Structure 1
Amino acid sequence: MAYLVLAYPKLSKEDYTWIQEFRKLHDEQYYEVVEPHFTIVFPTFGKSIDDFIKEVEKQSRDFISFDFTIRCAVINKDSFSDDWHVFLTPDQGHSNVVKLHDKLYSDFLLDTLFLELQFVPHIGVANSKDKWKCKKLVDEFNDSNKIINGRVESIDIVSFEDNKVDHIKKISLV
């Protein structure tokens, strides 16, 4: 079993519906598994849940909630498979997500940080083995000038096993 930290953003009903309709068409891997989110801590193994919770609570204690704005999609090659992904990446709020990610990996979880991959704050909305399909989706989003606004007010500790996400604890950001 893996433990993760996810941030489920507050979105307008219109933006949430748009993201979910897009994901239903293009996110075969995760649409039915998890709601739209930013991954703050990636799957972590070999830590007790009690220690994991204690560390996330400690490191997130001084973080405040923040707004974000997404105006851009990017294509991303999965380093562990033949899959390609479409990520919605925040302009405003980008640094907040990065700083929260870095803080959570600063002590107890540092040995689980995979530095070989650059951290890209994102909401995943599509995946395919066909890179050109993903490129087309990215171009369509970016040409649309769509703007998605939201807010991160909390983070969730979850477990992931057998392609199922279970919520363990919500931590409010001050």
Structure 2
Amino acid sequence: SLKGIKKFNIMLNNITGDYRDGYLFLNVKKGNDNIIELHDKLYSGLLEKFIFRKVTYCPHLTVGRMFDQKEFDGAVDELNCHNEIYETVIDEVFVENIDSDENSIIEFTFDLE
């Protein structure tokens, strides 16, 4: 399903969070459309039955998780003043299996053209 997808540049900036689950995100500022295209292609074949349609997919990089609401609020406030820009090239996709103990196992990688 990824055949023909070309490597692309991304830029990430600004930390935000999802207070419901306590996740902290580094937001994608450039390359959103490319990541969404990857997401949609991956979930158009064998994985289509696993797509979660109750939440709109929003490209991001998860950088942490805080279970305590007060710690979460403090982290978001503290990180809000950092304005570093991170840039890289996405040139491969890793297929990951997360087991019941939340161990990450890389099954294989796919090089983008």
Aligned to 2:65: 127
Q: Could you tell me whether the CA contact under 8 Å between 1:126 and 1:134 is conserved in 2?
A: no
- The code of the aligned residue for 1:166 comes to I
Aligned length: 112
TM-score (norm. length: structure 1): 0.59
**CA 1:62–1:132: 2 relative to 1, 3 Å:** farther
TM-score (norm. length: structure 2): 0.86
Cα distance in structure 1, aligned partners of 2:12 and 2:36:
15
Q: 1:100 aligns with which of 25, 38, 53?
A: 38
Aligned to 2:92: 154
Q: Give 1:77 deviation, angstroms.
A: 4.0
Residues 63-102 of structure 1 mapped to structure 2, 5 A cutoff: 63-77=5-19, 83-102=21-40
Greater share of helix:
1
RMSD: 1.7
Q: 1:163 aligns with which of 95, 102, 105?
A: 102
- The code of the aligned residue for 1:144 comes to H
- The code of the aligned residue for 2:107 comes to I
Unaligned ranges ≥5, structure 2: none
Structure 1 residue ranges, 4+ long, deviating more than 4 angstroms after superposition: none
Cα distance in structure 1, aligned partners of 2:74 and 2:35:
27
Residues 45-56 of structure 1 mapped to structure 2, 5 A cutoff: none
Unaligned ranges ≥5, structure 1: 1-58
Q: Give 1:105 deviation, angstroms.
A: 0.9
Q: Could you tell me whether the CA contact under 8 Å between 1:71 and 1:142 is conserved in 2?
A: no
- The code of the aligned residue for 1:163 comes to E
Cα distance in structure 2, aligned partners of 1:62 and 1:135:
42
Q: 1:33-63 CA deviation, whole Å, 9 max, x = no partner?
A: xxxxxxxxxxxxxxxxxxxxxxxxxx11111
Percent identity, please: 24
Q: Give 1:155 deviation, angstroms.
A: 0.5
